[in-house]
């Protein structure tokens, strides 16, 4: 399948740009820690699309983008797990996950 002729690289970049900034809006407009985490996941996925697209279109003789996306995924998994551990701990102490209500460093 010759993807280059069918879909130019710019289509992929436009898609990932839109996805990245939708994720940014999600981080900015919500005050709930879990929805902010979801926005960050969207942004990481947009970056992954870019890596994979550049690898496939421009440098098909190497796997750099592929491995970079793989490592980003591993770090995203670690980050999500730690974030959720922190969220559950915050919920135990403050009974809320709203960032505006969590304003004490020491209880």
Partner 1 sequence: MTGPKIIFYILAFSTILFSLLSVFDRRILRAAIYLLFVLVAIAGLFYMMNFQFLAAVQLMLYAGGIVVLIIFSILLTSQINSKLDAPKLMQLLAASFTALFGIGISLYTILPYVFKPSAAPTLEVNMRNIGLQLLNTGEQGYVLPFEVISILLLAALVGIIFIAKRSRT
Q: How far is the CB of 58 from partner 1 (least distance, A)?
A: 5
DSSP assignment of the chain, as one string? --HHHHS-HHHHHHHHHHHHHHHHHHHHH--BHHHHHHHHHHHHHHHHHHHHHHHHHT-TT--HHHHHHHHHHHHHHHHHHHHHHHHHHHHHHHS--BTTT---S--
* Residue 101 touches partner 1, criterion: CB under 8 A: no
Give yes or no for residue 106 binding partner 1 (CB under 8 A).
no
Among 78, 99, 101, 106, binds partner 1 (CB under 8 A): 78
Task: Give the contact letters, 48-67, x = binds to partner 1 (CB under 8 A), - = no.
Answer: xx--xx-xxxxxxxxx--xx
């Amino acid at each position: 399948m010759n993807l280059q002729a069918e879909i130019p690289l710019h289509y992929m970049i436009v898609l990932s740009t839109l996805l990245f900034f939708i994720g940014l809006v999600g981080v900015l407009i919500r005050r709930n820690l879990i929805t902010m985490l979801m926005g960050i996941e969207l942004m990481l996925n947009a970056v992954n699309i870019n890596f994979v697209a550049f690898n496939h279109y421009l440098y098909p003789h190497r796997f750099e983008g592929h491995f970079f996306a793989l490592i980003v995924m591993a770090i995203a998994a670690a980050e999500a797990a730690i974030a959720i551990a922190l969220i559950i701990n915050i919920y135990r102490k403050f009974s809320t996950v709203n960032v505006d209500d969590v304003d004490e460093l020491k209880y």
